[in-house]
Amino acid sequence: MPDRGAGMIKLILAVDGSQPALRATIALIEAARLYRDPVHVDLVTVHLPIPPVGGFFDTVVSKDMVEQYYRDEGKHAIQSSEKMLAEACIAFTSHILVGSIAETIVIHGDTAQCRMIYMGTRGMGAVANMVMGSIATKVVHLALVPVVLVH
């Protein structure tokens, strides 16, 4: 098993700007106080890629415009969690990613050698599970590290 950063605890916090994501941020902050070693958070938000349309759309909307859209949406999704982590004096690095949400979260966590994933979920009801819960469920199944789901 690879060294997961002896002397520092690396955690991933996946957020989307929702209330459950903010509650996951609070849960991570509270848990960070319990670790003996310092905590560093990889704060991530993942945007689904805009499907290529082609034709007229490509002449009106440039690649730079699409990338700016991802940055703007990502910043909006992570800004509250950034503020909360900064106020709690927890070191973090923000990442705005594009891809399949669950897979991108897990791949980023593996690449960054994070020890645990924190994320919110909207609940386990049938309708809620089809929305955010399905992403959380997929992360749980794909991840090789513990996943903390916060409702």
Domain spans of the chain? 9-150
Q: How many residues does the chain have?
A: 151
Q: List the pLDDT tens digit at each of the 151 positions of the chain.
A: 344 445 899 999 999 999 999 999 999 999 999 999 999 999 999 999 988 776 666 667 788 998 999 999 999 999 999 999 999 999 999 999 999 999 999 999 999 999 999 999 864 444 444 444 689 999 999 999 999 999 8
Q: State the pLDDT at residue 40.
A: 98
CB within 8 Å of 56: residues ≥ 6 apart: none
Give phi and psi for 2, each to the nearest 5. -70, 155
Q: Is-contact 101 77, C-beta < 8 A?
A: no
The CATH class that applies to domain 9-150 reads alpha beta
Q: Which of 140, 119, 111 is nearest to 45 (CA)?
A: 119
The structure's pTM equals 0.86
3-state secondary structure (DSSP) of residue 66: helix
